[in-house]
Structure 1
Amino acid sequence: MAVCGRKNRPKLLLCLFGVTLVGYLMFFRHGHSAVSAGNRREAPAERDGDDEWLKKPVYEKPPLDLNALGELGRAVKLALNDEEKLQEEQSVKKHQINTYVSDKISLHRRLPERWNPLCKELKYDYRSLPTTSVVIAFYNEAWSTLLRTVHTHLKEPLEKYLTGLRKVRLIRATKREGLVRARLLGASITTGDVLTFLDCHCECHEGWLEPLLHRIKEEPSAVVCPVIDVIDWNTFQYLGNSGEPQIGGFDWRLVFTWHTVPHHEQKRRRSPTDVIRSPTMAGGLFAVSKKYFHYLGTYDTGMEVWGGENLEFSFRIWQCGGSLEIHPCSHVGHVFPKRAPYSRSKALANSVRAAEVWMDEYKEVYYHRNPHARLEAFGDVTERKILRQKLGCKSFRWYLDNVYPDIHVPEDRPGMFGMIKNRGKTNYCFDYSPADENVVVGQRVILYPCHGMGQNQFFELSLGGEIRYNTRIPAGCIMGDNISTYLTVQLCKQRGQPVPADQKFVLREDGSLYHVLSQKCVQAMDKTDNGTPAPALQPCSESLHQKWFFEERS
């Protein structure tokens, strides 16, 4: 792995939180079995007048073995007997990652090239690049995804293992601190010019670090993220691609989302190797000047465990004069677990803190879609508001106009958003729950007991007559089908286009919901062809089952 610095290579730090822990080192990888200090092959020492040594890893990899499991990022698929299958299942159940397979893969494995070929042509003045400290926080992490060596009792072997490693320091907290405070604990003792934060189950692509450091040297107020390539949690296949990466966004639930690079950003860039501006970051992997990190107020220490801190930091970077970027020449593979191995119970409170400090009047758009968030205890944000004032940060309106103009901002007119309730079928509401979180369209709208929690029962009637399901991105719009008579959700019109006729509704003064194309009214049906109550298009009448109203929350 290439290493940058002046006379010192990057200073590396391991920061841990919790009581029972395991450790992980990204920068230097080790063999499949435990490696003693005596048989690690160190890279050549510094030689006067020769900068080539600066490019070399701290420890050299052994010769490439193309027959090794998982080599060059290949998927590992094992033929297992019943006992081995049980062990594999137990490993997944414990860590939500197939650590049984991970244990079989060498720490030295090489990854396939997944960057734009032009990236390989970039040259760096290694002696002028800033130094960096890498901070990796983790809690009860699976050893095999980190050091690829299994230890049943973690604490003593971890310290013993790291004793022989150069440039690594292990920091233990006395209790579980959560991601934010753990990272700050690590950052507090770093010595590098740049803080590089990584998650605890990553593998770094060749040349991943130099582009981040070079960009921060060019622009100290830039916070730069690598392209995050996917490592399959089950087979450990490296799934990165060399095409244009995606950028970060959010929906109005304050959930992070991925998006293609918009046309205006493509047009701004002069080369495929130029950085890409991103409205938000995923949060786990980024580099920032240590001085600038402190200028911005580091992390919000009132946030607990993890969740929401990435959006808060993203808003703060942009609104307070910095820039958030993705460098297409920096690739880091990340194992996304089957599901989160521990609770995100504090994520809602963290999001509320972000909304209260940074979103101004647009926090109401968030609260409309998350009525329960208004009741969430989120602590004192006085100091964060003082920080915003001290730094002279811009408004959230400015952020939406200049950084994220592609996001649709709901109208949320009084009386035209919330639950759509029926007067005849009492306490039943429009409900939409797509089977796939990533595919918002194509499903039928049903009727379900009203729960007042927003989310899948939140709709908005726009000035153009669209019934928008816009808690998620992209927003969906209800379409009336004159043949089946049922309502489904399809993609809404693009900006500047007319509303499709089959998506146009009028909420009339008598409470009837009139579908313009079919000239029929929406009626609450007690039973449909699949046995589920649902709204359907029927000839207009005075029935209470055709009378509807919006209610923000119960």
Structure 2
Amino acid sequence: MLQSWPKRCAVYAESLFSVPEGCVCFCDTMCLDILRHKKKVLLLLLLMAIGSIVYYLYTLKLERERDGFVTVTTSRLEHEVKELQAVFESEVIPGLGALGRPARGNWTQEQLEAIATSQRETGYNAWLSKRISPERTLYDMRHRSCKKLEYPLEKLPSVSAVITYHNEEASVLLRTLSSLRSRTPIMLLREIILVDDGSTVVNETLNDFLKIKFLNMVKHSRITTQVGLMHARVVGAEMALADVLVFLDSHVEVTKGWLEPLLDPMMRNNRTCTTPIIDTIDFDNFAYRRGKPSRGFFNWQFNYIQLPLLKEEAVAMPAPHQNPIMNGGLFAIGREWFFELGGYDKGLKIWGAEQIELSLKLWLCGGQILEVPCSRIGHLYRDGNFKIRYTDKNSNSEKKIISRNYRRVAEVWLDEFKDKLFANLPHLTVISAGNLAEQRELKKRLHCKPFQWFLDNLAQDFLHLYPIIDPGEYASGVIQSVSSPKLCLDRSDTQKRRPKLSPCSSDQVFPQPEQHWILTSRRELRSGNLCLEVRNQGLEVHLYECHGQSGNQFWSYDSKTRQVISGQMSNSRNCLEAQPDTNGLTSRACDPKNTKQKWKLGYQNDEKLLHFWDNVKTK
């Protein structure tokens, strides 16, 4: 049966392609309207088709141009990387110092002179550093038990690594950053914040290289004038976005698995600050040497010292153990907790005592510090004879800055025990500590414990070595040569760290400071903060910071033979011997008939000397 014409016309009209003959006469109003605009619709469709073709050709052209631009840009970027790498890595000798081995070579005389110059200028072999790859490999130094531990990375917090520097050697800084990038899980390292603390020479080429080599990982900030370690670190901490701050020096190399063990204790107590084992990178050949676990402390001259682990801590190795005073250079701490503690005391200037101040705040105000043996970081230590200049000021100005820092920390945190410090460092009492109101208010607001709590809970072995009440000295004053009575032992040549013989002071009991020696209750020969110690199998005599742990700083005096004797064990003792021809000293096998081994002391406590060897192990 044929459809009605109106219905047939409507169907055909929807197709817009053909209309049956006769539709004009029989279609209804709708059909007539569609037919009336048929030509316009077809024209519109044609224009749309043409437009689509034009758009496709245009976008195809844009894509080809974009691909060409990306190729050119990538090529340019690769070219820039190669050019900048040539600046900083062109002198690299492949394999030199790999796996942390000593970097040695058959250097020419000209090269040896360049090495000597670089060490005088920086305190380490900067010439050699440029020839060691920034990506050098290291042995896995961890305890075997540490390698078996697994940490759920998805549960650990991310970190912001804060590194401050001032005039750092570029090759050393690059090695620090490269080790961080290659040995840290990417999901844990949110950013590296690099703070230039007023370097006098700005290396723009290095800045460009860092942007390309590390892309968005490194945030680089520059402070135009030097503000010092503490303030620069706070600047970096304020930029941080991660929940945990890891403060590092600019001359370190992190090792495999260094970060996870530092973060793990924080998951159980967010007021925990953690420190790694600090290994040594040799200043002369960049050999990576394993350090030992220890407990940091300070003596009554505010010098940082290291104490051995307690018996129960040694048995539990490599479990984390309490660390009374951190070294200060390398540690991890929660960002919120760091700022709740007030960061560093804003009144501390440049450097000095900052690790004591922060450590005491942590322990006394509700936190703790743990040393984590499964985390190891190598630190480049400078030559002991190199004098570090932290500012452009003269040495006396720097000493005043450090003394002021000591005074501030003592006044706020040591309570009545500050008098013990002032007795050993009387010059602190005439130095202004500045305004302490903010620090005392912080101490009150955080309900911090007294310093007596610190001694009671963390310092039992410390008080044995460094008692509050000094039991007395065995002898003091000058150490005068009997064979050359015009010459006395002198420590004034601290640059070479070797004692010498100088004309004796007129007062032999209370001589000038450089000739005032004390045979202390810890059986060390001390002058100021320095002690005599023997090296090279006991034959060389050096000056070094007193460590209070006997060993190579153990000395005795035989009042009968007048010999000054090194060594605790009876089978390994030598005697101090004068060398008047060179105004030098040495240590040789004891000979009671050798007058060069005889010495007269300014004052000796004969009664105490009779009991010198009581309760001392000699075999």
Which TM-score band applies after superposition, normalised by the shorter structure? 0.5 to 0.7
Q: Measure the CA separation in 1 of the matches of 2:119 and 2:327.
A: 24
CA 1:303–1:431: 2 relative to 1, 3 Å: farther
Q: Measure the CA separation in 2 of the matches of 1:461 and 1:234.
A: 36
- 1:373 counterpart = 2:450: no
Amino acid at match of 2:241: T
Checking the alignment, whether the CA contact within 8 Å between 2:476 and 2:604 is kept in structure 1 is: no
- Residue 239 of structure 2 corresponds to 189
TM-score by length of 2: 0.61
Q: Measure the CA separation in 2 of the matches of 1:413 and 1:73.
A: 44
How do 1:302-317 residues align onto structure 2 when only pairs under 5 Å count? 302-317=347-362
Amino acid at match of 1:320: C
- How far is the alpha carbon of 1:316 from its aligned partner? 1.4
Checking the alignment, whether the CA contact within 8 Å between 2:364 and 2:454 is kept in structure 1 is: yes
CA 1:538–1:395: 2 relative to 1, 3 Å: closer
Q: Measure the CA separation in 1 of the matches of 2:239 and 2:515.
A: 42
- 1:246 counterpart = 2:271: no
Q: 2:460 aligns with which of 401, 405, 421?
A: 405
State the SS of the aligned residue for 1:92: helix
Q: 2:220 aligns with which of 144, 151, 170?
A: 170
Larger Rg: 2
- Residue 612 of structure 2 corresponds to none
Query: Could you give the per-residue CA deviations for residues 221-240 of structure 1, whole angstroms, max 9, x where no partner exists?
Result: 11101110100011000001
Q: 2:558 aligns with which of 469, 474, 481?
A: 481
Amino acid at match of 1:237: A
User: 215-224 or 226-235: which moved more?
Assistant: 215-224
Q: Measure the CA separation in 2 of the matches of 1:214 and 1:298.
A: 22
Higher relative contact order (CA 8 A, sep 6+): 1
Q: Measure the CA separation in 2 of the matches of 1:157 and 1:490.
A: 54
How do 1:380-391 residues align onto structure 2 when only pairs under 5 Å count? 380-391=435-446
State the SS of the aligned residue for 1:230: strand
Checking the alignment, whether the CA contact within 8 Å between 1:370 and 1:455 is kept in structure 2 is: no
- 1:289 counterpart = 2:356: no
State the SS of the aligned residue for 1:172: strand
Q: How many correspondences in the alignment?
A: 428
- 1:69 counterpart = 2:96: yes
Checking the alignment, whether the CA contact within 8 Å between 2:477 and 2:511 is kept in structure 1 is: no
Checking the alignment, whether the CA contact within 8 Å between 1:69 and 1:104 is kept in structure 2 is: yes
Checking the alignment, whether the CA contact within 8 Å between 1:417 and 1:459 is kept in structure 2 is: yes
- Residue 274 of structure 1 corresponds to 319
- 1:225 counterpart = 2:275: yes
State the SS of the aligned residue for 1:215: helix
How do 1:407-486 residues align onto structure 2 when only pairs under 5 Å count? 407=462, 408-412=465-469, 449=507, 450=510, 472-474=546-548, 479-485=556-562
- How far is the alpha carbon of 1:421 from its aligned partner? 7.1
Q: Measure the CA separation in 2 of the matches of 1:436 and 1:406.
A: 30
Q: Measure the CA separation in 2 of the matches of 1:455 and 1:281.
A: 33
- Residue 359 of structure 1 corresponds to 414
State the SS of the aligned residue for 1:392: coil
- How far is the alpha carbon of 1:534 from its aligned partner? 2.2
Q: 2:364 aligns with which of 307, 315, 319?
A: 319
User: 390-399 or 329-338: which moved more?
Assistant: 390-399
Q: 2:170 aligns with which of 140, 143, 146?
A: 143
- 1:79 counterpart = 2:136: no
Q: 1:109 aligns with which of 124, 136, 139?
A: 136
Q: Measure the CA separation in 2 of the matches of 1:533 and 1:36.
A: 76
Checking the alignment, whether the CA contact within 8 Å between 1:180 and 1:299 is kept in structure 2 is: yes
- How far is the alpha carbon of 1:136 from its aligned partner? 0.3
Structure with greater proportional helix content: 2
Q: 1:342 aligns with which of 377, 389, 410?
A: 389
Unaligned runs of 5+ in 2: 1-74, 82-91, 177-199, 391-397, 479-487, 530-545, 569-594, 608-619
- How far is the alpha carbon of 1:341 from its aligned partner? 2.8
Query: Could you give the per-residue CA deviations for residues 441-480 of structure 1, whole angstroms, max 9, x where no partner exists?
Result: xx99x98553686996568789xxx999697542779855
- 1:98 counterpart = 2:125: yes
Q: Measure the CA separation in 1 of the matches of 2:279 and 2:309.
A: 16
- How far is the alpha carbon of 1:355 from its aligned partner? 1.1
Q: Measure the CA separation in 1 of the matches of 2:515 and 2:422.
A: 11
State the SS of the aligned residue for 2:332: strand
Cα RMSD (Å) of the superposition? 4.2
Q: Measure the CA separation in 1 of the matches of 2:153 and 2:470.
A: 56
Amino acid at match of 1:181: H
Query: Could you give the per-residue CA deviations for residues 357-412 of structure 1, whole angstroms, max 9, x where no partner exists?
Result: 11111111111111112222332222112211211111111101101211145344
- Residue 534 of structure 1 corresponds to 601
- Residue 124 of structure 1 corresponds to 151
Q: Measure the CA separation in 2 of the matches of 1:452 and 1:312.
A: 32
- How far is the alpha carbon of 1:118 from its aligned partner? 1.3
- How far is the alpha carbon of 1:148 from its aligned partner? 5.7
CA 1:480–1:167: 2 relative to 1, 3 Å: closer
User: 384-393 or 480-489: which moved more?
Assistant: 480-489
Checking the alignment, whether the CA contact within 8 Å between 2:94 and 2:133 is kept in structure 1 is: no
Amino acid at match of 1:298: G
- Residue 257 of structure 1 corresponds to 305
Checking the alignment, whether the CA contact within 8 Å between 1:359 and 1:396 is kept in structure 2 is: yes
TM-score by length of 1: 0.68
CA 1:341–1:478: 2 relative to 1, 3 Å: closer
Checking the alignment, whether the CA contact within 8 Å between 1:106 and 1:148 is kept in structure 2 is: yes
- Residue 31 of structure 1 corresponds to none
Q: Give the percent of matched residue pairs that are identical in Structure 1 and Structure 2.
A: 29
Checking the alignment, whether the CA contact within 8 Å between 2:167 and 2:201 is kept in structure 1 is: no
- How far is the alpha carbon of 1:126 from its aligned partner? 1.1
Checking the alignment, whether the CA contact within 8 Å between 1:412 and 1:460 is kept in structure 2 is: no
State the SS of the aligned residue for 2:104: coil
CA 1:85–1:473: 2 relative to 1, 3 Å: closer
Amino acid at match of 1:398: W
Query: Could you give the per-residue CA deviations for residues 487-529 of structure 1, whole angstroms, max 9, x where no partner exists?
Result: 66887xxxxxxxxxxxxxxxxxxxxxxxxxxxxxxxxxxxx85
Q: Measure the CA separation in 1 of the matches of 2:257 and 2:297.
A: 26
Checking the alignment, whether the CA contact within 8 Å between 2:492 and 2:514 is kept in structure 1 is: no
State the SS of the aligned residue for 2:288: coil
State the SS of the aligned residue for 2:239: coil
- How far is the alpha carbon of 1:432 from its aligned partner? 9.1
State the SS of the aligned residue for 1:188: helix
Q: Measure the CA separation in 1 of the matches of 2:491 and 2:267.
A: 47
- Residue 160 of structure 1 corresponds to 208
State the SS of the aligned residue for 2:267: helix
Q: Measure the CA separation in 2 of the matches of 1:36 and 1:214.
A: 43
Checking the alignment, whether the CA contact within 8 Å between 2:93 and 2:132 is kept in structure 1 is: no
State the SS of the aligned residue for 2:95: coil
State the SS of the aligned residue for 1:195: strand
Q: Measure the CA separation in 2 of the matches of 1:216 and 1:360.
A: 30
Checking the alignment, whether the CA contact within 8 Å between 1:418 and 1:454 is kept in structure 2 is: no
Checking the alignment, whether the CA contact within 8 Å between 1:115 and 1:331 is kept in structure 2 is: yes
Q: Measure the CA separation in 2 of the matches of 1:166 and 1:538.
A: 67
- How far is the alpha carbon of 1:218 from its aligned partner? 2.0
Query: Could you give the per-residue CA deviations for residues 401-437 of structure 1, whole angstroms, max 9, x where no partner exists?
Result: 10121114534479x7899679xxxxxxx99969999
How do 1:5-84 residues align onto structure 2 when only pairs under 5 Å count? 38=78, 68-84=95-111
- How far is the alpha carbon of 1:102 from its aligned partner? 0.7
Q: Measure the CA separation in 2 of the matches of 1:364 and 1:455.
A: 26
Q: Measure the CA separation in 1 of the matches of 2:474 and 2:229.
A: 34
CA 1:453–1:378: 2 relative to 1, 3 Å: farther
Q: Measure the CA separation in 2 of the matches of 1:145 and 1:467.
A: 37
Amino acid at match of 2:601: A
- How far is the alpha carbon of 1:40 from its aligned partner? 12
